[in-house]
Amino acid sequence: MMTTINEITCNEKPQWCVGCGDFSVLMGIKTAIAELGIAPHETVLVSGIGCCSKSPHYVNTYGFEALHGRSLPVASAIKLANHKLNVIAISGDGDGYGIGVQHFIHIGRRNFDLTYIVCDNQLYGLTTGQASPTTIKGTKSKSTPHGVIETQFNPIASAIVNGATYVARAYAGDLKHMTEIIKGAITHRGFALVDVFQPCVTFNKLNTYQWFQERVYKLQDAGHNTGDKMAALARAWEETNSEYKKVPIGVFYKENRPTYEDELPQLKEKPLVWHDISNVDISKAYAEFE
Amino acid sequence: MVDLIWKMGGQAGEGAMVTGRTLGKTFTRGGLNVIGYPEYPSLIRGGHNTYQIRVSDAAINSPLQKIDVVVALNKEGVYFHHANLKDGGALVYDEAIDISKYPIRADIRKCPMPFSKIVAELKALPQMKNTIALGATLALIDYPFEKLESVLADEFRRKGDEIIKQNISVAKAGYDHAKAHFDCGTFKVKVKPVSDKRKILIGGNEAVGMGAIKAGLKLFASYPMTPASTLMHYIAEKEHEFGIVMKHTEDEIAAMNYTVGAGFAGVRAMCSTSGGGFSLKVEAIGLAAESESPVVVYLAQRVGPSTGMPTWTEQADLRFAVHASQGEFLRVILAPGDVNESFALAWKAFNIAEKYQIPVIIMSDKFLGESHFSTDRFDESQVRIERGKIAKNLKPLPQGGRFKRYLLTKDGVSPRPLPGEPNGMHVSSSYEHDETGFSSENFQMRAKMVDKRARKIKQLLAEDIEPPTIHGESMPQSDITIICWGSQKLPALDSLPILKANGIKANVIHFGFVYPLDAKKVKTLLKSANRTVVVENNSTGQFAGILREYVGFKPNFKMLKYDGRQFFPEQIAEEVKKLHDAGWKGKREIRVVEKEDVEYYYPGHYQI
């Protein structure tokens, strides 16, 4: 089966700031789907609310733009309803690590076969630039005019600790590398996090393309063993431990573990949505009440 | 006519509920009608628990206040309940309790039970005193012991023959002791089996579960919350058998969003909660409305606001459900009045949700949800599965174009391709949108979409909203018409024979379809009443308000109760009689509060 990028491109053009990393992430997702040959109708792109959460409107697959913070529960249920579908959730750092973080914390241990792309621009973009959970300590923003007091949320370490089985980071300034990471996430059987450093050209004056360009290095070039959880955690802390001198990108951690869907005998034969419900026989259900 | 009320009281954790349900089945296996009614505090140990059984050979609907047999497993059981015994009633109690310090009336038959002695003699477990008490109960009322034997055999089947034998032998010891010591022959209430036909004894929550399963429920997402949890437990138990996924989610918000996602993906999906959880779900109920994803929400009400009284009953969330979530949108609220309606409204809810692509809320409460009622097997002959406009076999889309998922149709319902369907690609969204689902802030489109979603009501009212049901005398024949919704149908119905015995002609109008209402039809019906009283389990008369707002009908009287218990039939009858005796000129708002002075949460505050 062949899918072309044209086939999954809509007539409507994305409306993001010129130079926004979201363009790159969108292209990465479309390229990954096309290169993997997944049919447009077999993919569902689920988002929350935010700049990047507008992505489902610009990809001609099935899409669901949910509520702020809630892309993961909606995506999880779509996967449970029809586990044959390729389900990708996309959120921002405020959406996924702020208001919706409880879903993120719990989804790793469930290990649904889902891809979760977080466009991490280290602030709230659509609400005009407040500090987010991944904003660097000390940063001044509209909601933190005196500087952020909290330390950063570490999504990579969180995902590893909480049981995700594919934990990666990409950089929107390196489309080719990001596309490979996304392809790896889609083909991985289990919950895959791709945290994407995606510079906000309008509001983030600190974490710019240039800032990342000077700091990122690829884990694959550093001989990192993606099967070693402790080494992965050490790399996850490298960014802050090095005081932002070195920012690793690539796959931190990968593990093969049965998915949630694998563990459900009710899904063995076929997806729930294919079940015939025209005449469910409940006659045996009365006995326990007699 | 036989009408026995039995009540067991003991500490939380002593097993009064399980034992009560066992006794209930003992009676339903004799073809009798049974109501099992639990009361308990939000504690796992300590506090006070009761289970009340009402059994009759006639049709019954509700628990009553006065008791024939009290079984007291501890002194609280004696202290709190002896005064509610009828004349000549029996107090079965642990002989270790010194009852001389309580003002127990002379007419009450005192039946001290040597629980510890029997337990020691039969090398049984201390908690088996409940079973001993069941044996003693059957001896008093002369009910065949074999019925209890057969229930115990089934209940303990999984634990093996030894355990079955032991349970039967302790029950028999209780039976024999009562026969030998309590002059049972002279006890005035006797219960005889009427047939061998087995009825079922089922809770409102489980009846909703069976209805949902029958309707083809596939995904159930839930977070535990009393008094809705037993529905979650029931579905969890059945998920393999019926090919359902029951997901206990991380929180209430996730559960609602799972339900929306699953509804969008094309399976019948449901979640369950009580008021606190419903508060957390409201944003995603709006998501279901805006994205036109079918969802069914089960809301088992309890006492609010906030944590309130978690294990007690109320009907105070109706206005909340009618208005839940920002913006304006169509939703349907169903409120079953008994277990048969719980089954029926559950399967109907899924049809309505899918046919109109809207949220449907089933409102029950602790009283109906957690009490047990005998009935024949549910009427499955009426069940039909209507999935609405699911779009299949679609024409190829133009390059870069999308399926018109939100096509502006005459009936307001648009074709819905399910993800996975070729050529059906579209985006469903929380954002206002055009016909393809693409975000739009065009004023005309916005107004068209609001109107499209709203005009579904026309077909809904014509085809799926059922009229209220009328019970008792005809409208012109009745001096007073009792209007109720949801669970309060049960005490309202049982107030009718009491009123009749007092020479008052009355009937009951029950609303199971509470919102939206067919204003014209409802108004015509209610206008035909001589006078009306709305009976509701809340402090403001929420349904009375709904009737005034949407139907333009003002009832003559409101009767309200919000102390944590549902109405008892005697209370409704008493208040209606007062109105009658005053020539229907009494005050317009009547407030009923329990006179019984009990504290289930912390009995330690009493000198017991």
Of the candidates B29, B399, B418, the beta carbon closest to that of A273 is on: B418
Taking alpha carbons only, the member of B73, B53, B72 closest to residue B141 is B53
Helix (H) or strand (E) holding A175: helix A175-187
Gyration radius (Cα) of chain A, Å:
20
Neighbours of B392 (CB within 10 A): 10
The CATH 3.40.50.970 portion of chain B extends over: 204-375
Please report, for residues A10, A58, B24, B393, B471, the alpha-carbon distance to residue B436 in angstroms, rounded to integers and kept in the order given: 11, 12, 56, 18, 48
pLDDT band for position B13 (cuts 50, 70, 90): confident
Nearest chain B residue (CA) to A71: B257
d(CA A30, CA A8): 7
List the single best residue of B241, B252, B402, B430 to mutate versus A (max A Cβ within 10 A).
B430
d(CA A29, CA A278): 38
Q: Are A181 and A250 contacting, i.e. CB atoms less than 8 angstroms apart?
A: yes
pLDDT band for position A221 (cuts 50, 70, 90): very high
Q: Does residue B427 surpass a pLDDT of 80?
A: yes
Nearest chain A residue (CA) to B235: A285
Q: Are B37 and B5 contacting, i.e. CB atoms less than 8 angstroms apart?
A: no
Distance from CA of B454 to the nearest CA of A (A): 21
Neighbours of A104 (CB within 10 A): 28
pLDDT, tens digit, 9 for 90 and up, residues B231-284: 999 999 999 999 999 999 999 999 999 999 999 999 999 999 999 999 999 999
A46 in contact with B, Cβ within 8 Å: yes
Distance from CA of A242 to the nearest CA of B (A): 35
Question: Which sequence spans correspond to the domains of chain A?
Answer: 21-289
Nearest chain B residue (CA) to A86: B420
A126 in contact with B, Cβ within 8 Å: no
pLDDT, tens digit, 9 for 90 and up, residues B143-157: 999 999 999 999 999
Q: Are A137 and A150 contacting, i.e. CB atoms less than 8 angstroms apart?
A: yes
Quote the CATH superfamily of domain A21-289: Thiamin diphosphate (ThDP)-binding fold, Pyr/PP domains (3.40.50.970)
Q: Does residue A1 surpass a pLDDT of 70?
A: no
Of the candidates B199, B420, B428, the beta carbon closest to that of A84 is on: B420
DSSP, res A99: I
Q: Are A200 and A121 contacting, i.e. CB atoms less than 8 angstroms apart?
A: yes
Contact across the interface for A81 and B265, Cβ inside 8 Å: yes
Distance from CA of A197 to the nearest CA of B (A): 26
Collapsed DSSP state (helix, strand, coil) of residue B252 = helix
Contact across the interface for A85 and B216, Cβ inside 8 Å: no
pLDDT, tens digit, 9 for 90 and up, residues A251-268: 999 999 999 999 999 999
Collapsed DSSP state (helix, strand, coil) of residue B593 = coil
Give the pLDDT mean for A85-90.
98
β-strand B480-485 against B506-511: which pairing, if any?
Answer: parallel
B37 backbone dihedrals φ, ψ, rounded to 5°: -130, 110
Of the candidates A6, A70, A81, the beta carbon closest to that of B218 is on: A81
d(CA B280, CA B273): 10
Quote the CATH superfamily of domain B204-375: Thiamin diphosphate (ThDP)-binding fold, Pyr/PP domains (3.40.50.970)
Gyration radius (Cα) of chain B, Å:
26
ipTM over 0.90: yes
Contact across the interface for A272 and B219, Cβ inside 8 Å: yes
* B3-192: CATH number: 3.40.920.10
Give the pLDDT mean for B581-585.
96
A73 in contact with B, Cβ within 8 Å: yes
The dihedral over CA atoms of B63, B69, B73, B79, expressed in degrees to the nearest 10, equals 80
B485 backbone dihedrals φ, ψ, rounded to 5°: -140, 155
pLDDT of residue A156: 98
Alpha helices in B182-274 (DSSP H): 204-214, 229-242, 252-265
d(CA B551, CA B557): 16
Nearest chain A residue (CA) to B383: A279
| Residue partners of B377: CB distance under 8 A and separation at least 6 | A286, B200
pLDDT band for position B15 (cuts 50, 70, 90): confident
CB–CB contacts below 8 A, A to B: 197
Alpha helices in A188-242 (DSSP H): 209-213, 229-236, 238-241
pLDDT of residue B71: 97
Contact across the interface for B284 and A102, Cβ inside 8 Å: no
Classify each residue of B245-269 as buried b or exposed e, where b means 16 or more C-beta atoms within 10 Å of its C-beta: bbbebbbbbbbbbbbbbbbbbbbbb
Nearest chain B residue (CA) to A281: B214
A63 in contact with B, Cβ within 8 Å: yes
Give the pLDDT mean for B123-139.
95
pLDDT band for position B208 (cuts 50, 70, 90): very high
Of the candidates A66, A106, A279, the beta carbon closest to that of B250 is on: A106
A15 in contact with B, Cβ within 8 Å: no
Q: Which residues pair with B93 in a beta bridge?
A: B72, B112
Nearest chain B residue (CA) to A65: B429
A38 in contact with B, Cβ within 8 Å: no
Query: Helix axis angle, B145-155 relative to B129-141, nearest 10°?
Result: 150
Contact across the interface for B257 and A277, Cβ inside 8 Å: no
Partners of A62 on chain B (C-beta within 8 Å) are 419-420, 424-427
A221 in contact with B, Cβ within 8 Å: no
pLDDT, tens digit, 9 for 90 and up, residues B307-323: 999 999 999 999 999 99
d(CA B175, CA B26): 14
Contact across the interface for B240 and A6, Cβ inside 8 Å: no
The CATH 3.40.50.920 portion of chain B extends over: 469-591
Distance of CA B451 to the CA centre of its chain: 35
β-strand A123-124 against A130-131: which pairing, if any?
Answer: antiparallel
A44 in contact with B, Cβ within 8 Å: yes
Please, what's the largest Cα pairwise distance for chain A? 73
Partners of A6 on chain B (C-beta within 8 Å) are 399-400
pTM for this prediction:
0.98
Residue by residue, DSSP assigns B274-329 as -HHHHHHHHHHHHHHHHHT--EEEEEEE-B-STT-BTTS-----HHHHHH-SSS--
Nearest chain B residue (CA) to A81: B262
Contact across the interface for B385 and A278, Cβ inside 8 Å: yes
Token pair of B287 as six digits: 């998501």
A103 in contact with B, Cβ within 8 Å: yes
Q: What does the mean pLDDT of chain B come to?
A: 97
A78 in contact with B, Cβ within 8 Å: yes
Token pair of A24 as six digits: 């790159």
Q: Which amino acid is at B425?
A: M
Partners of A84 on chain B (C-beta within 8 Å) are 420
% chain B with pLDDT above 90: 96
Nearest chain A residue (CA) to B21: A289
- The domain made up of B469-591 is a member of CATH 3.40.50.920: yes
Token pair of B521 as six digits: 């039809």
List the single best residue of A53, A104, A162, A277 to mutate versus B (max B Cβ within 10 A).
A277
